[in-house]
Structure 1
């Protein structure tokens, strides 16, 4: 398989015709394309050439227009893994464990149950929602580096609102529409997202599948055949040891069980990532990671240095500026429109060069400031401390290896999978697409390529990443439009319809608005796109007999 110029994956003519016909029937194609083009300058225009979209690479997003962005390659339909003959046969029923009852785990549970699998979900906490569950509690170590610390899963701060509009965030067959008596904002707070997930779980009767207060301690392979290759994956089973924390248990009860397959949905916003700052071990101030940030009051009149200018760094810096004396935000890269200068009591800087014993923090541009606090908004690490594959799967420098299409370990076929690893995405629809693929593979309606083919594909993927200057840490990052191509490809493997084209158009309009407006959550310029999406989602809700208020 060869990646093509401007990252156009090779799809069959029949597939292209079907996509184009569907979009033409909707009558929305030309309107959405024209609207997208009006929202961007000429260097920032995605081109929608079919429903579900084949896209032109955005030239000013940090990757040259001569390079594919994330380089996720896809097979053409003539190389598809779908087994048409298998569709008419009886589905295989598997006993499947889903680890985690956050959004990814809920999506996996629904799709597995739809395929008739025997599903159980282990959730460590007492609630669904995962990272969307706010708690005022935080890790006992503010930097979250002490291995013996009291751990808190959620990274939610009290003021958090989504950075994507609600019409994009919802699952594909359960629209995230505003409801009376709840947060009706287009970019709602975390409580509304958590309420939506509860609605989703209750609608699909998922609570009956979830065992709360169960922490997975170990997942290991139980070999029933002569090997552990994907070709023998029908014989593979997994032994899972868990600790159960009941209401009246002084000590957790340990249990072992065996499953045909394990789907890992434990999220990747609980294990903070820190960057090295020379001299910080002698710096006398207070350090913490944004994982443990909740409210701004304790930072009154402080001088704060924030490391990182992505979503959390941007939100938290603006909130802290209301109470702090000074806020200094450091970023590896700044948009061309953002000059490195003072904005009120917020200063923008390049990265920190070093921290000094006298309390000073020096920046790479030669400037410095005395600081009381260094707040690390530096992202998170993938972590699966319970997974024991005897060295088959490794996690290093942000890469889970080997992983076919960010989901499957080639040696284990569909019996071990991950949902929700890609970053910089619209999460819930992608979770659902991945879960649908996993479910159909386990039921035998879809087949993976051979282990050797998947490993060859993965090697080519890594080679292309390196050749195009994309770091190992960004192996699972999807830059802008790649997620839409990725989701469409997965949905195609399952025989499902591609994403509606308004999704990509709104994604890019929201991204453009975010780059030019400090109040992007409440002031937008794509009302016509929002109207198109809302009409589509309301009609879908009515067809599915979902309650719309």
Structure 2
């Protein structure tokens, strides 16, 4: 319906946001700004999602095989950002260093500093008023609508933990006009499928999801599977206490596995650390065999093999599925065409700048729900999804990288907000700083965070303006 002046009459919806992490908080803020009533359901005892460090792990399920996992946090104690804080942050609430003995002013701070920032964001915009902590969502399903109704609603069943989590209150079911799924993708571990003998291995196996500190591995020989960011972090962490650390790459040969960054790490820690191609088999007595035929005897194997998408609470009758690391079908990684706009996802893309990108997604969702913006017809959205799949396949991009934006199509990451919600473009100096950090990390993954700043004149100019404008972030 349009007003007399031709502008749309904006609607206010009752919206449930599942997840109180970075993506969920971005969604909550944008939804409230657009005039919607918001309820955020977060299963942990505080907001922050993965940035809420929990030293405890699920000792009964170290591989994280249960769905959903019992312990949602996957943060390890030594984790630090790999993106510079100056390029992160919400557009109007910059991630500036703050005073205090317990604060971390570094360009690449540790996880606790990110959590402090998210709490400050909540306080600045009054978001804690709409957050229900220790509330686990059990089921989200469409409500059977009357024949005369064209609006879809959603029943959300949840349960709240009491006290220390040993008890739970009665389940509650509520009806919402829309649901935003913002649970992230760093909780449900993925395990490798090509290693024989994992069921026969008699010694310790765990996923990085269950790793916190190196102390339990003191004096051991440990095999770390995977040379991604977490694999390198954890291998270096273990070098401080382990007898031997064996880093197994996802490659069939040593030549393929040895990158410039890996070479420097080996040069610095060659007395403890060894590099190997992928594991071919685990033997029951403790021997680990690699693709080149070599082997070592190990006490523990840690799988740093990433995380998958998991929405065990979501019942869409098959309209949305998760297969081969793809949430499908999603128009622009946000809206399932047949259920849009009442169901949406914020935070599905990988390798993107956070929370900035989440903010753009959330703003689009909020404006579509209010009627400020209109989605294409369902058939057109489905066609766009299929065209995206075909284009990626033609370019030789594996299907499992469907939601990988930054490493495959970085320009689309920067253009998304301008295209769908008139979001101000990211400043060029920030793009330059991000690219510089990526190149530094590829060259020296161990020390790039602490090298003396060598910013270009353009970046230095941007930093001066950023510092003066961001010193007093504005809430609103």
CA contact (8 A) 1:86 1:445 kept: no
CA distance in 1 between counterparts of 2:266 and 2:414 reads 40
Q: 2:186 aligns with which of 262, 269, 275?
A: 269
CA contact (8 A) 1:329 1:348 kept: yes
CA distance in 2 between counterparts of 1:162 and 1:329 reads 22
CA distance in 2 between counterparts of 1:352 and 1:538 reads 48
CA contact (8 A) 1:225 1:235 kept: no
CA contact (8 A) 2:221 2:300 kept: yes
1:244 corresponding residue in structure 2: 160
2:254 corresponding residue in structure 1: none
CA distance in 2 between counterparts of 1:465 and 1:146 reads 32
CA contact (8 A) 1:104 1:431 kept: yes
C-alpha distance after superposition, 1:106-162 (max 9, x if no partner): 10010001001111111112201011111111123111114597x111111111111
C-alpha distance after superposition, 1:67-111 (max 9, x if no partner): xxxxxxxxxxxxxxxx99998332111111111111111100100
Q: 1:294 aligns with which of 205, 212, 223?
A: 212
CA contact (8 A) 1:312 1:377 kept: yes
- Residue 84 to residue 90, structure 1, CA distance change in 2 (3 Å): closer
Q: Does 1:90 align with 2:19?
A: no
Stretches of structure 2 lacking an aligned partner (at least 5 in a row): 252-256
Between 1:330-339 and 1:426-435, the stretch displaced more is 330-339
C-alpha distance after superposition, 1:402-429 (max 9, x if no partner): 1111000000111101111111222200
CA contact (8 A) 2:86 2:94 kept: yes
1:215 corresponding residue in structure 2: 136
Pairing of 1:94-173 with structure 2 (within 5 A): 94-140=13-59, 141-146=61-66, 151-173=70-92
Stretches of structure 1 lacking an aligned partner (at least 5 in a row): 1-82
CA contact (8 A) 1:492 1:498 kept: no
State the shift of 1:480 in Å: 3.0
Q: Secondary structure at the match of 2:289?
A: strand
CA distance in 2 between counterparts of 1:96 and 1:312 reads 35
Pairing of 1:42-441 with structure 2 (within 5 A): 88-140=7-59, 141-146=61-66, 151-181=70-100, 182-224=103-145, 235-247=151-163, 250-276=167-193, 277-333=195-251, 334=257, 336-337=259-260, 338=262, 343-441=270-368
CA distance in 2 between counterparts of 1:527 and 1:355 reads 46
- Residue 87 to residue 190, structure 1, CA distance change in 2 (3 Å): farther
C-alpha distance after superposition, 1:443-468 (max 9, x if no partner): 11111111000111111111222222
Q: Secondary structure at the match of 2:191?
A: coil
CA distance in 1 between counterparts of 2:170 and 2:185 reads 26
Q: Secondary structure at the match of 1:414?
A: coil
- Residue 146 to residue 541, structure 1, CA distance change in 2 (3 Å): closer
CA distance in 1 between counterparts of 2:4 and 2:281 reads 63
Q: Secondary structure at the match of 2:449?
A: coil
CA distance in 2 between counterparts of 1:206 and 1:499 reads 25
Q: Secondary structure at the match of 1:527?
A: coil
CA distance in 2 between counterparts of 1:240 and 1:494 reads 28
